[in-house]
Every structure is written in structure tokens, then in C-alpha cells.
Amino acid sequence: MSKDRITSTYKPGQGDLGWSQVLHNSPPLLKNSPAAIIQGAIELLRHKIELFLSLHTTLQYDLDYLLNYLDRNIFTLASFCYLKADTDKHLLPCEALDWLSNRVAELEKELGSCPDFLYHKHPKLVCLDGVRIQVRELERIYISWRYSTEIITHLLVNPQLTYKVNYHSAILNRLSSYLFWTIRKEGTLLRSKGLDIEERYWLSQVEDFNPPKESLLT
């Protein structure tokens, strides 16, 4: 048996060399291209959504609908970012942006203002916050794609796509805002059931560090 880890008969394929044939009838893309990174972020977001939905079945009706809708449809954003954006079939509907904006306004009015940074102890809120955090990460990656040299050049040649590109940025921004407020709403619903749910905010200054003098196990 040869001691070589890779035998002399090995022939590297495109995937081994960092290329991926993502779309039919299109040139292969590097796996670290901005659009490919967006696809990876979407896969992680879908995983977090599916994990949350599998663990928590009692939800606000609008949150339940939105998460299931995203699980089925958010991947179309990847198709859009692979520059297959010449049709509307890859665009999330305008109604989604309007709905998110209106729902955020309703929740702000109902729940009142609070600091921007919350942290959570209850498993349901922690898991849902993981979805929100991944949406924010997807938004940052999308912005990196938006201002990459390739896309700036593409939009100079196809200026009619600029609105669609900016529209998806707005969708992701509103989505993370909606999740922030709906997590607060879920907290109030848990409190109404008698659970000890306290809104916790990031501290404005560091606490003193006072560890116990003896082990808690003794």
C-alpha cells in the first residue's frame, strides 16, 4: 500500500481547487466569493430557524408565519446575489417590507422604548435571539457583497438593478429590528404565564469582580 496520502492517480476537481459550479450554464465561482459567502450565511440562518421551530411550537401567529416563510424562501436571496437578478422571481415581495415596518411600529408602541442591547436567560428567548444575530450577520455580509468591486461595476452597467439591491438591504435591516421587538413580546407572554422573565440589558460599565472565597462544591 502506498504511504502517500494522495495517490498518483488523484486528479483534482474544480471543488478541490476552491471553485463551485453553483448555477447551471454559468461560470464557476470561487467558494470565498461574496455571493458564495452569502449562501453560507443563509444556510446557517435556515438551520437556526429550523432548530428554533423544532423546539418551540407555541408562538405568536405572525412570528410563526414569518419564520416558516423565511425557511422556505430566504434562499432566493442567494440566487439574487449570484447576479441572476434580471427577473422578479428572486425578489422577496414588497409586502414583506411594509409588513415588517408596520409590525415594528406596532410593537414599539405596545412595549415602549428600551436600550438596544438585551441578553436573555430563558431557552426560548436565547434560541430566538440566535436567529436575530444570524440575520444581522447576513445583513453585514450582504453589505460587503453590495459594495464589492464586482457588484459596484455590475450596477454601473445595470443601474436598473440598484433599487432591487438596496431593497433587499432594507428587508434584512427591518427583519433584524422585527426580531428584536418580537423577542421582547415573547418575554412579556412568558411573564404573563407566571415565569420569572426579566429584561436584561448590557451594562454601561463593568462590574467589580468578586468571586466566591470558597468553592461552591464544598
For 27-57, write each residue's pLDDT tens digit.
667 777 788 888 889 999 999 999 999 999 8
Within a domain: 214: no
| CATH number where 42 lies | 1.20.1200.10
Q: How many domains does the chain have?
A: 1
Within a domain: 95: yes
Which of 8-22, 64-78, 108-122, 168-182 shows the lowest per-residue confidence on average (mean pLDDT)? 8-22
Q: Nearest Cα to 128, choosing from 78, 192, 54, 41?
A: 54
Give one DSSP letter per residue of 52-115, joined into a string.
HHHH-----HHHHHHHHHHHHHTTHHHHHHTT--SSGGGSPPHHHHHHHHHHHHHHHHHH----
Within a domain: 15: no
Structural domain range at position 72:
25-201
Contact (Cβ atoms closer than 8 angstroms) between residue 56 and residue 142: no
User: Percent of the chain having pLDDT more than 70?
Assistant: 82
Beta bridge pairs of residue 29: 20
* Length of the chain measured in residues: 218
With DSSP H G I counted as helix, E B as strand and the rest as coil, what are the percentages for the chain, rounded to 5?
60, 5, 35
Would you say the C-alpha torsion 24, 30, 31, 33 has a positive or negative sign? negative
Within a domain: 17: no
- Local confidence band at 115 (pLDDT 50, 70, 90 cut-offs): confident
Which of 5-9, 156-160, 192-196, 205-209 shows the lowest per-residue confidence on average (mean pLDDT)? 5-9
pLDDT in tens, 154-172: 888 888 888 888 888 899 9
Within a domain: 38: yes
Spatial distance between the Cα atoms of 55 and 127, rounded to a whole number of angstroms? 9
Within a domain: 4: no
Spatial distance between the Cα atoms of 198 and 7, rounded to a whole number of angstroms? 60
Within a domain: 153: yes
Within a domain: 161: yes
